[in-house]
Amino acid sequence: MRVLKYELTYHHDSALLFERIKDQPWAMLLDSGQLINDATGKAGSQYGRYDILVAEPFITIVTTGQKTTISQQGAEKVSDADPFCLINQILQQYPVAKTQHPFAGGALGYFAYDLGRRIETLPNIAAATNIPELMLGFYDWAVVVDHREKRSVLVSHGLTEPTKVNWPALCAKFNNPAAPTSDSTPFSVLSEIQSNLSKSAYYQVFNKVKNYIVAGDCYQVNLAQRFVAKVQGDSWQAYKKLREISPAPFMAYMNLPLNNSQSIQVLSNSPERFLQTDGYHVETRPIKGTRPRSSDPAQDLAYSNELLNSLKDRAENVMIVDLLRNDIGKNCVVGSIKANQLFQLQSFANVHHLVSSVTGKLNKTATAVDLLKGCFPGGSITGAPKLRAMQIIEELEPHKRGLYCGAIGYIGFDRKMDTNIAIRTAVVYENELSFFAGGGIVADSVAEKEYKETLDKASNLKALLEYYLIQ
């Protein structure tokens, strides 16, 4: 099967291309965190290599509770089967050869944290956030922007007749990426930011976590608070501002329709890779360990050195590395799993992190989807042991997590996969923007420090809301 390709004009800022499709239902951008210096218009720092833009899926699947709706060519089918099995079945209908591109067609979207209820039995205590647990489109074309090679290409396996018929129009749409005129309502924030946990309430649930640890129920629990504000207008404008405030390597923007004529927008500012596969090579890069940034260079260096030398943070990191070694081991060749890097310092706009790398070789009988299910949700944002930590999270956090701590990314028809951990991620739904921020609690955690860490992690999204706040 011949791969369709069309070279586009390269622009360092892929937003110029995405603005051609941003308002279409199921339009998505996986964004590698390129930073444009507004003062000069020139490229600034960068984190990743590829940006991926998609729209017009030929199949969509949406899971809400126990039901998954599969839509194709105007027809809908509802299934109560395992959503991961449904994804496998669809992907396997379209076997293709690998290309040089990270993604040339396949599934792209989000897997919410609460999709984990289809894997583990959890209590139902916390208030619902009322968004689907899974929203995936299956795409027959993508725009891939390669910032290393400074190339942009529209690429497709040509699996569907509409793609082949509409190919000239698609090429024309992206060939001139000048920003189109827009009559969208300016984005604005209409209320102060509210948390679902006051400081005193956070201390109370923190102490309950510590009691569980002392009792031997668990070693670590990720405890988070939820922030929310009333908003209106075009969320894409807010996302573009977020890119300026805080570029990160696994960012994403999604415009997703719901059946009741509503929509949700996802603004992800994630620094963390969850799972990547290329052929049979598997990698996960868990983050554990955080310190704030400082505008004073000496203080900033002190924070980073403090993190690098923290025995507590190293112990937390190792705990999660071990958990992930076990998780990916469910679908990897015995003896292939290695912790290649431990405690690497990575610095972002608002925080320093410790990042480790775990790799393995996928079993030939396993798929990327099997790997994802075996590791879901990511251990770095649940705790250890994972199931008990998730039960405690459900008991103590006032709201279900929704997308927070789930995953965003792609699974190609060619078996390639790359996903983030959906932290530093906001959801706009029913004129509210909500996001979570949390941190791992262990035996020697101190409530005041852990509470401050959640605020440090929330600082960029809070800064975004404060920028647009109508006084």
Strands, E assignment, 10-57: 27-31, 50-54
Flag whether pLDDT at 418 surpasses 90.
yes
Between 47 and 28, the higher pLDDT residue:
28
pLDDT tier at 350, thresholds 50, 70, 90: confident
- The whole-number pLDDT of residue 38 equals 41
How many domains does the chain divide into?
A: 1
Closest CA to 64 of 119, 109, 117, 122: 117
pLDDT tier at 315, thresholds 50, 70, 90: confident
DSSP state of 49: S
Query: What are 30-78's pLDDT values in tens digits?
Result: 999 886 444 334 444 456 889 999 999 999 999 999 999 999 988 999 9
Distance CA 216, CA 31 (A): 41
Do the Cβ atoms of 45 and 37 come closer than 8 Å? no
pLDDT tier at 421, thresholds 50, 70, 90: very high
- The whole-number pLDDT of residue 40 equals 38
Flag whether pLDDT at 471 surpasses 80.
no
- The whole-number pLDDT of residue 294 equals 86
* Residue positions annotated with a catalytic role: 272, 288
Distance CA 221, CA 209 (A): 7
- What's the mean pLDDT in 292-308? 87
Kindly report which listed range (64-78, 95-109, 143-157, 300-314) carries the lowest average pLDDT score.
300-314
Does this model's pTM top 0.95? no
- What's the mean pLDDT in 75-101? 95
| Residue whose entry in the numeric block shows the structure tokens 């609690």 | 441
Domain that holds residue 130: 4-468
Report residue 176 CA to chain centroid gap.
29
Query: What are 317-336's pLDDT values in tens digits?
Result: 888 888 889 999 999 999 99
4 CB neighbour count, 10 Å cutoff: 19
Residues whose CB falls within 8 Å of the CB of residue 102, separated by 6 or more in sequence, listed in order: 50, 52, 144, 410, 412, 416, 418
Q: Indicate which CATH number applies to the domain containing 297.
A: 3.60.120.10
Give percent of the chain with pLDDT exceeding 90.
75
Number of alpha helices (DSSP H) and beta strands (DSSP E) in the chain: 10, 25
- The whole-number pLDDT of residue 44 equals 42
Distance CA 242, CA 462 (A): 10
Distance CA 414, CA 278 (A): 9
pLDDT tier at 155, thresholds 50, 70, 90: very high
Kindly report which listed range (35-39, 246-250, 417-421, 459-463) carries the lowest average pLDDT score.
35-39
DSSP state of 343: E
**3-class state of residue 56 by DSSP:** coil
- The whole-number pLDDT of residue 307 equals 87
pLDDT tier at 310, thresholds 50, 70, 90: confident
Flag whether pLDDT at 252 surpasses 90.
yes
Query: What are 166-222's pLDDT values in tens digits?
Result: 999 999 999 875 555 566 789 999 999 999 999 999 999 999 999 999 999 999 999
